[in-house]
Structure 1
Amino acid sequence: MTPRRLAAIVAGDICGYSHLMQLDEEGTHARVKRIQRDLIEPSIAEHHGRLVKTTGDGFFAIFDSPVEAVRCGVVIQQNLTGRNASLPRDHRIEFRIGVNLGDVIIEADDIYGDGVNIASRLESIAEPGQVFISGGIYEQIKHKLVCGYESLGDRKVKNITDPIRVYRVLPDPAAFNRARKRRESILIFLLSLLLLAIAGGALWYLLPQPLGRVRNQALTRLSPDVSQALPGRQSAPPAPARHDAARQDRLPVLATPVLQQPPSQQAAAPVAPPQPAPAVQEPEMNTLRGGTFMMGSNEDSSEKPVHHVTIKPFAISRYPISVREWNECAAAKACAFLATGKGDAPVTNVSWSDSKQFAGWLAGVTHKPYRLPTEAEWEFAARGGTQTRYWWGDDLRPDMANCKGCTDVAALEQAPRIGSFKPNPFGLYDMGGTVDQWVEDCWHKNYGGAPTDGSAWTESDCGSHVIRSGSWKNDPRYVRPANRDSYDTSVRYPTHGFRIALSP
């Protein structure tokens, strides 16, 4: 019997592939192959999926978890956004991605069934750079990802009998609220126009007509008994003063210009006392006196050459920034999303740009020069005054760091609380494992030409930044103080967090 299984199917396809091939056949082919090798295949593997096949300009993959399937699609799209940022629009390689949950027939090198066809149809109606998901996927993931979702309603697609409920994934969790507020603003604007039109019609009815005529028209609408009982009904026309009163009663009050008095004649308006800024609980900081150390190692080409670096005194947060600390920034509308999870867990799914927003917000509300640490400062702090492979020695020891294979604790979807493992000699926790940590520096493939004074190595428009520490999902080699990696500047990833530094 042919094996079947319920799976989350991801279908991806390049937009305008034929046009790209016409512009530069060999170059486009090479770029597509590189994206498949360096981005799509590793992302699928990282999210526990299986690449079923590639189609020249697309791919199909299956996942046991709908959460991981959508997360993989978002990561691919965000990475491609970073890669395309510096390219002319007609040279950009952009994917459409569709994700569906369905029962599929599995063969060695292909998958079949309506579930696959629906994923393919979702991909075909998706916009460039977007991830579209089916209603079945949405119901499985709607409370499990830091995302927004925009319902596109039921769509009838080719060769599928029943309409498909379609959702657009909004990787920025604030994006859905912004879209909703934009729609609400449009509705409020239209309602305001309607009210103005009604008010204008009322003014048109009242203003051009003689006041007595308006009054008589109003009185004729009353019952005969009531109109007869009104004073002056059978007598001579009312005095002009009564006309004025009637006018005042029935006409809208128009604003009268007020002549500005000289400052000396104006009454002094009471001035409200300035309100103090809301208190912010600052992260716990450890002050380091600085010094000279040997930065890098010979274990990886990106960590060479080993070189002397002199660090000036600075302070660095004792722990990675927590969910509670991040959400203070989010509550102040200064950070892009509200983080989920326990308050004492490290915040994750944070891009380099997000971490810079937090540091800028904290500096603004405290009037202190908070910032991201430089790469040299981070390694100096992580070593804790040692020059061994790990801060505790050259051999891996159990329960010294939170990484895959470092402890007997089963891998979790979220990192455990900050400070769960021993601090290094500088009293800093989680300087290796727990979460990947952003630093200020742009990514360079090695230390050739790196500054030796501990300053950040940056350029004005670098597309990727250095990330340190490794996470609870990485193996032990990532928790070495010398280990370094990179990630696209504006891309969020579920293991990425950060800590902050403070200049004297």
Structure 2
Amino acid sequence: MGEIRNFRSGSHDEPPHGAMPRRLAAIIVGDIAAYSRLMQADEEGTHVRVKRIERDLIQPSIVEHHGSLVKTTGDGFIAIFDSPVEAVRCSIVIQQNLIGRNASLPKHSRIEYRIGVNLGDVIVEPDDIYGDGVNIATRIEGIAEPGQVYISGAIYEQIKHKVVCGYESLGDRKVKNITDPVRIYRVLPDADAVGRTRSRRENALIFFLGITLMVIAAGVLWYLLAPPPGKVGEQAAAPAASPSPQPSPHEAATQTPQPSPSLASAPSPAPSPSATPLREPQMVAIRGGSFAMGSNDDPTERPVHQVSIKPFSIGKYPVTVQEWNECAAAKACGFTATGKDDAPVANVSWTDAQQYAAWLAQAAKKPYRLPSEAEWEYAARGGTQTKYWWGDKLQPGMAGCKDCGDLAAEQPAKVGSFKPNPFGLYDMGGGVDQWVEDCWHRTYQGAPGDGAAWTGGDCTSHVLRSGSWKNDSRYVRPSNRDGYDTNVRYPTHGFRVALSP
């Protein structure tokens, strides 16, 4: 892999120009699988495609996640991050976006990266980095499968309670030129995938065992029920008692029942419709008004500014698994959600939420949409201006979050498990993070004052509100806000819908 191949051989273990200050960093090393084959098949085309991916995907993703691109190496790249969380998020974003880019291409033409992530002490020069931390990241990348993100145990310990993904332990691996074995994990962006991965072999074994037991049971049943030899002719000759003849199933199906005299003239009831009626989310009408949006608790919530809100309606609850799966059944939403019907749907991207809103609007013939960020906060405050809608101090049993009380758990509670706010809305804080219409901006500087969604600027990320069951209580404040990648699913992300008058 160009310079990285030399790096693997050990020639880059120490910088050539003397010692420099060290720093602890999360290191990403990416490398294109089967690069030589791709170049041999189409050298110029592959080069152009790789450069386009670096320009349009890899570099912007690194910047968006507060990292620095150290260098590209022809068929790979190296980047460093202050935050292990952001390094892993960036790696997931790159891989999932590549899936979309490759979807329409034949397998032999796809550009797929292997990505390794490690946390280590490194020496940073203007155009390169050095040290065992980089060596380990490179070795991990070499082990990774195409399209996968592998991380070291050091990264895993830092992110396991912060990035809600599935993680498959691959055990300790001895890697070249590193004295101690390195513990390695495979990242599964879908949290449920870890269970599927771990149980794949067990499920296959259970399946074949079940088939074997069915065959044995069928044999035993045949042995018990089959007539003894020599008795078949006698049984066939024995006269059967013949009560009034019964019609065969076919005859019964084709015979016309005789109507009762008293009902002969009554009209036939209308057939019940075969389609299940559309299940629209329960909505709450919100009167317009003006409020002070934001807070001074976090730089992203500043400046506090006055916003006017027009009347609108918003979902009483977040969209549930059952409501989402109606869209999935209509093949208008991208996946079938798992979980209880009355749980909030989760693991949806902003794009997924938009698909649901568009389907619901078309099916119900009503202007359903995502709420704007200003509408969401106005509704979440419920006419209050305190830290939480119920006051300035955390109270148990008011929201579903990591430290919100006894009902906090390893999954979101069913919708409506906590008290409603003064507007009659449930789960406007905790439960699941909730997508809104707006593109992500780091502050409110320049935000609209009329309650409309802020859609200008870079929309590769969109705004999330509410906080989730995995977050601390500070995230359930009505003013709390965050941004996340537009097209990436995440296990704590859900949404609710709004409705224009």
Q: With structure 2 as the length reference, what TM-score do the two structures score?
A: 0.53
Q: Secondary structure at the match of 2:29?
A: strand
Q: Distance in 2 between the 1:443 and 1:489 partners?
A: 10
Q: Distance in 2 between the 1:498 and 1:469 partners?
A: 10
Q: Distance in 1 between the 2:379 and 2:464 partners?
A: 15
**For the Cα contact (< 8 Å) 1:132–1:169, is it kept in 2?**
no
Q: Secondary structure at the match of 1:294?
A: strand
**1:410-421 equivalent positions in 2, closer than 5 A:** 411-412=409-410, 414-421=411-418
Task: Name which of structure 1's ranges 468-477 and 402-411 shifts more when overlaid on structure 2.
Answer: 402-411
Q: Distance in 2 between the 1:323 and 1:459 partners?
A: 31
Q: Distance in 1 between the 2:100 and 2:459 partners?
A: 11
Question: Match for 1:77 among 79, 85, 92?
Answer: 92
**For the Cα contact (< 8 Å) 1:320–1:498, is it kept in 2?**
yes
**For the Cα contact (< 8 Å) 2:92–2:189, is it kept in 1?**
no
Question: What residue ranges of structure 1 are gaps of 5+ in the alignment?
Answer: 1-9, 41-54, 64-68, 87-92, 100-108, 134-144, 148-157, 159-166, 174-274
Residues 415 and 75 (structure 1), Cα distance of their counterparts in 2 relative to 1, 3 Å cut: farther
1:104-150 deviations in Å (ceiling 9; x for gaps): xxxxx98x99xx99965542x515xx4589xxxxxxxxxxx999xxx
| Partner in structure 2 of residue 306 of structure 1 | 304
Residues 73 and 460 (structure 1), Cα distance of their counterparts in 2 relative to 1, 3 Å cut: closer
Query: How much does 1:319 deviate?
Result: 0.3
**For the Cα contact (< 8 Å) 1:75–1:492, is it kept in 2?**
no
| Partner in structure 1 of residue 78 of structure 2 | 57
Residues 98 and 324 (structure 1), Cα distance of their counterparts in 2 relative to 1, 3 Å cut: farther
Residues 117 and 438 (structure 1), Cα distance of their counterparts in 2 relative to 1, 3 Å cut: closer
Q: Distance in 2 between the 1:83 and 1:126 partners?
A: 11
1:273-315 deviations in Å (ceiling 9; x for gaps): xx99752110000001111111111111111111111111100
Q: Distance in 2 between the 1:146 and 1:332 partners?
A: 28
Paired letter, 2:474: R
**For the Cα contact (< 8 Å) 2:430–2:469, is it kept in 1?**
yes
| Partner in structure 2 of residue 15 of structure 1 | 31
Question: Match for 2:455 among 446, 453, 458?
Answer: 458
Query: How much does 1:80 deviate?
Result: 6.5
| Partner in structure 2 of residue 492 of structure 1 | 489
Q: Distance in 2 between the 1:170 and 1:36 partners?
A: 19
Q: Distance in 2 between the 1:410 and 1:453 partners?
A: 36
Aligned residues: 316
**For the Cα contact (< 8 Å) 1:98–1:126, is it kept in 2?**
no
**For the Cα contact (< 8 Å) 1:439–1:498, is it kept in 2?**
yes
| Partner in structure 1 of residue 114 of structure 2 | 96
Q: Distance in 1 between the 2:66 and 2:27 partners?
A: 18
Percent identity at matched positions? 56
| Partner in structure 2 of residue 473 of structure 1 | 470
Residues 417 and 79 (structure 1), Cα distance of their counterparts in 2 relative to 1, 3 Å cut: farther
Query: How much does 1:36 deviate?
Result: 11
Q: Distance in 1 between the 2:362 and 2:408 partners?
A: 40
Q: Secondary structure at the match of 1:491?
A: coil
Q: Distance in 1 between the 2:390 and 2:357 partners?
A: 30
**For the Cα contact (< 8 Å) 1:12–1:96, is it kept in 2?**
no
Q: Distance in 2 between the 1:340 and 1:360 partners?
A: 22
| Partner in structure 2 of residue 293 of structure 1 | 291
Q: Distance in 1 between the 2:61 and 2:370 partners?
A: 35
Query: How much does 1:57 deviate?
Result: 3.2
Paired letter, 1:368: K
Paired letter, 2:114: R
Query: How much does 1:408 deviate?
Result: 2.7
| Partner in structure 2 of residue 245 of structure 1 | none
Residues 399 and 75 (structure 1), Cα distance of their counterparts in 2 relative to 1, 3 Å cut: farther
**For the Cα contact (< 8 Å) 1:73–1:97, is it kept in 2?**
no
**For the Cα contact (< 8 Å) 1:77–1:95, is it kept in 2?**
no
**1:175-214 equivalent positions in 2, closer than 5 A:** none
**1:110-149 equivalent positions in 2, closer than 5 A:** 121-123=142-144, 125-127=145-147, 130-131=148-149
Q: Distance in 2 between the 1:466 and 1:33 partners?
A: 17
Residues 97 and 299 (structure 1), Cα distance of their counterparts in 2 relative to 1, 3 Å cut: same
Q: Distance in 2 between the 1:35 and 1:306 partners?
A: 27
| Partner in structure 2 of residue 446 of structure 1 | 443
1:144-178 deviations in Å (ceiling 9; x for gaps): x999xxxxxxxxxx9xxxxxxxx9979699xxxxx
Between structure 1 and structure 2, the one with the greater Rg is 1
| Partner in structure 2 of residue 162 of structure 1 | none
Q: Distance in 1 between the 2:138 and 2:78 partners?
A: 17
Paired letter, 2:422: P
Q: With structure 1 as the length reference, what TM-score do the two structures score?
A: 0.53
**For the Cα contact (< 8 Å) 2:114–2:141, is it kept in 1?**
no
Query: How much does 1:360 deviate?
Result: 0.2
**For the Cα contact (< 8 Å) 1:79–1:488, is it kept in 2?**
no
Q: Distance in 1 between the 2:412 and 2:433 partners?
A: 11
1:3-27 deviations in Å (ceiling 9; x for gaps): xxxxxxx99631269999xx9xxx9
Q: Distance in 2 between the 1:170 and 1:403 partners?
A: 22
| Partner in structure 2 of residue 259 of structure 1 | none
Q: Distance in 1 between the 2:64 and 2:287 partners?
A: 46
Task: Name which of structure 1's ranges 394-403 and 419-428 shifts more when overlaid on structure 2.
Answer: 394-403
Paired letter, 1:449: G
